Structure 1
Amino acid sequence: MTVTIRPLDGKQTAGLEGQLKEVFSEAFAEPPYGEGPADVERAFRRFRSQVRRRGFRAVVAFDGDTVVGMAYGYPLSANTGWWDTLTDPVPDDLRREDGKRTFGLFELAVRPKWRRQGVATRMHHALVEDLDNARVMLNSRPEAKGAQASYRAWGYQRVGSAIPWEGAARHDVMVLDLL
């Protein structure tokens, strides 16, 4: 079957939670992530509040009725704590948020069987193509070579490192300028 990419709002995305958990579980079980059931549950506790955020948007990849990939995020609020997780100093102007400046890309994952077919690229493009934000920001594990290569190919630049939550590995903070 042909993989189709569908834009979804928060309510529609929330309705796919079970299938999205399967995508997350498969995509992040592999090295370098090694995430297990507790990690999936932690991610989906966040997911339940994320889908209700102002400006939330998602794209989901389907092969027939099977969800094979997901990408979602929302604009960072003026008082976001995202920048507070940085381990490297960055200029104050880089940290400035107003609720519209930066779209936070919180998840982008493709099931292993559907990788290397352009699914992630198509989802990323569909997610960011009509954004009114000036930039997109994401966190990525530096040892995730395939993801890092894709982000660089799409125009992201590393701006620092972060420990996004207690006990997390170091992540690269990457920004894509849209303007």
Structure 2
Amino acid sequence: MPQRDTISTTPMDGAAAVIAADAFKLVYAEAFAEPPYRETADDVAAAFRHFPAVTRRLAFRAVLARNSEGEPVGMAYGCLLGPDTVWWDELTEPVSDDMRRENGHRTFGLMELAVRVAWRGQGVARRLHETLLDGTGAERVLLNVHPASEAAPTAYRSWGYRKIGEARLGGEGGDLHDAMLLDLG
């Protein structure tokens, strides 16, 4: 395990994230190979076939964390949710119209946040989260997290997130995830 290292975080727009896609993929592949995700090489390849399209969404932003040697150690990305978002439709129980109202500025959808194993417990995830949200102007953040992952929901709760329901990702038969919301105001 590496000793505590100087970690830098670099905010990126969609174009820069596409250029750095291999670094995002490296972090993603390692972090999500673990239980409960157990993503295979085919799963990772499928996810990153769609990555360029994801980066073209309105108000997409990303952050990549690297150690002092330039090795990718963590990543996060997401975008502001527009009025036509399907995020609220994935909830197993409906929420109020006021809760689900989106205008392209109200809610930031956190799509992925991951840190490679050797760099966990050093505050990298928190720094990625803070850097990603800095300057969004959003009132709140919405994310989905696998409840069996233990560490991720615990971290999110410690940062002020609260569970607002469960979301079924990937359509009928998809895994249930906890939908969590953080009020920024």
TM class by shorter chain equals over 0.9
Q: Does 1:15 align with 2:19?
A: yes
Query: Paired residue for 2:59?
Result: 55
Counterpart for residue 140 of structure 2: 135
Structure 2 matches for 1:1-150, cutoff 5 A? Answer: 1-63=5-67, 64-150=69-155
Deviation digits for residues 22-75 of structure 1 (CA, Å, limit 9, x no counterpart):
111100001111111222123213321111112111111001211111011111
**Alpha-carbon distance, 1:177 to partner:** 0.7
Matched, 1:174 2:143: no
Q: Any idea what SS the aligned residue of 1:148 has?
A: helix
CA distance in 2, matches of 1:45, 1:93: 34
> Which of 145, 163, 170 lines up with 2:168 in the alignment?
163
Distance across 2 between alignment mates of 1:88 and 1:173: 11
Deviation digits for residues 141-174 of structure 1, max 9, x if unmatched?
0111100011001111111101121343100111
Equivalent position amino acid for 2:63 in 1: V
Percent identical among aligned pairs is 49
Partners of 2:97 and 2:58 in 1: CA distance: 25
CA distance in 1, matches of 2:122, 2:9: 13
The worse-fitting range, judged by mean Cα deviation, of 128-137 and 100-109 is 128-137
Q: Is the 8 A contact 1:82 1:164 kept in 2?
A: no
Q: What 5-or-longer segments of structure 2 have no aligned partner?
A: none
Question: What one-letter code is carried by the residue in structure 2 that aligns with 1:127?
Answer: L
Query: Number of paired residues?
Result: 179
Greater than 4 Å deviation, 4+ residue runs: none
Rounded Cα–Cα distance in structure 2 between residues aligned with 1:38 and 1:85:
24
- Tell whether the 8 Å contact from 1:140 to 1:172 is kept in structure 2 after alignment: yes
The offset of 1:140, in angstroms, is: 0.2
Q: Structure 1: where are the runs of 5+ without partners?
A: none
How many angstroms apart in 2 are the aligned matches of 1:30 and 1:137? 23
TM-score of the superposed pair, with normalisation by structure 2: 0.92
Root-mean-square deviation over aligned CA pairs: 1.2
